[in-house]
Structure 1
Amino acid sequence: MQIQQIHHVAYRCKDAKETVAFYGRVMGMELIGAIAEDKVPSTKAPDPYMHIFLDAGAGNILAFFELPNSPPMGRDPNTPDWVQHIAFQVDDVDALMAAKQRAEAEGLDVVGPTDHTIFKSIYFRDPSGHRLEVAAWTATPEQLAQMKSVAHAMVDEWAVTKKPPRHTAWLHQKEFADAE
């Protein structure tokens, strides 16, 4: 299989109109399409939906489904709240700080910036409760090469021990030191 790029990533939303407005106003994303049907095309199951598509830049599409006949949205109670998130990239740290100001001006509770050494990021939630991350790269080519060079060894060690390998501990040493 030769993947060219991600076509779209789809999530559920509570309200399609509110979601379009939020992502347009806060994230600068344009609504580029909508599909609505009474039946699911792939399964033929009767389940009315509104499927919206937002331009996330550089050929990336973020999509949402509003499902009025399904039970209310919920989260997997066995997955920590911080795990599932959508991360968006901006040009630089100045753009990241501008995104933070924009989100705070909307009354959103913004966490960060968090310094991951190779990038800095902020976090907040959309109207459906999805955790969003906005990130700006700060990595050097050497740092990225160092991470890549140990990635397989880390996964292999984790598979055996289920304890965090320390190969890339340098990424958050400063962040954890500042918290102490």
Structure 2
Amino acid sequence: MINIKQIHHVAYRCKDAKETVEFYKHYLNMDFLVAISEDRVPSTKAPDPYMHVFLDAGQGNILAFFELPTYPEQGKDPNTPDWVQHIAFEVEDLDALLAAKAELEAKGLDVLGVTNHGIIQSIYFFDPNGHRLELTYRCGTEEQLKKLKEIAPAMIEEWSRTKRAPKMAAWLHEEEFRED
């Protein structure tokens, strides 16, 4: 039986490896761990030169990027809204989230939020490659998380049948959408 311990790393494409490393070091205080570069891909043996960089995302989590100079720029998927694909990083609490927002804005980034998702609160911004980033903190109670886990199977079944948002967890955003 497979027993996964944690995600070792997730890898994304970048436009410029050096610019990407500098962004994550400057804005998110990530340490630059490793750079690997080859003229041939070890797994496929394809003759594709690349630069693969790895950054410390905290607690054993690693964020990696590939720069691929022989391929056209990745571009945006016209069928996927900007808010869908993103990388979320957790901070300690609301004070840390607000401090991060202030710091990022002071460094010149446009930041969206704080957005209340009921069990988490988040801010959003983009890296130089167009990847949406989220900083979030957990504010949900154990009771809320337990309830969400209990209703998850029924929610996915209803969604699978109807392709409409099940209302079983609407309580998460009741205050946000309540009309006074």
After TM superposition, the score normalised by the length of structure 1 is 0.96
Alignment partners' CA distance in 1, 2:34 and 2:178? 46
Q: SS of the counterpart of 2:49?
A: strand
Q: Give the match for residue 48 of structure 1.
A: 49
User: 1:79: Cα distance to partner?
Assistant: 1.1
Quick check: 1:114–1:175 contact (8 Å CA) kept in 2? no
1:60 aligned partner, one-letter code = N
Contact 1:12 1:66 in 2 (8 A): yes
Runs of 4+ in 1 over 6 A off after TM superposition: none
Q: Tell me how far apart the structure 2 counterparts of residues 133 and 70 of structure 1 sit (CA, whole Å).
A: 28
Separation of aligned partners in 2, 1:177 and 1:103: 31
Deviation at 1:36, TM superposition (A): 0.2
8 A contact 1:110–1:122 mirrored in 2? yes
- The letter of the residue matching 1:109 is D
Provide the secondary structure at the position in 2 that maps to 1:164: coil
How big is each residue's C-alpha offset from its partner over 1:75-106, in whole Å with a ceiling of 9 and x where there is no partner? Answer: 22111111000000001011101110111012
Shift, 1:62, TM fit: 0.3
Distance in 2 of aligned mates of 1:111 and 1:98: 14
CA deviation profile, 1:49-84 (whole Å, cap 9, x unmatched): 100000000100000001111101212211111100
Partner amino acid, structure 1, of 2:72: P
Q: Quick one: distance in 2 between partners of 1:90 and 1:127?
A: 21
CA–CA distance in 2 between the matches of 1:69 and 1:43?
A: 16
For residues 124-155 of structure 1, the C-alpha deviation after alignment (integer angstroms, 9 at most, x for no partner) is 00011100000011011001001001000000
Report the Cα offset of residue 173 of structure 1: 2.0
In structure 2, stretches of 5+ residues that fail to align are none
* Paired residue total: 179
Partner of 2:138: 137
In 2, the alpha carbon distance for the partners of 1:48 and 1:175 equals 49
Correspondence list, 1:31-70, <5 A? 31-70=32-71
Alignment partner, residue 16 of structure 1: 17
Q: How much identity, in percent, do the aligned residues show?
A: 64
> Contact between 1:96 and 1:135, CA under 8 Å: does it hold in 2?
yes
Q: What is the Cα deviation at residue 175 of structure 1?
A: 2.4
Query: 1:117 Cα deviation (Å)?
Result: 1.3
Show the counterpart of 2:164: 163
| 1:29–1:55 CA contact under 8 A, matched in 2 | yes
Q: Does 1:74 align with 2:75?
A: yes
User: Which amino acid counterpart does residue 160 of structure 2 have in structure 1?
Assistant: A
Query: Normalization by structure 2: what TM-score?
Result: 0.96
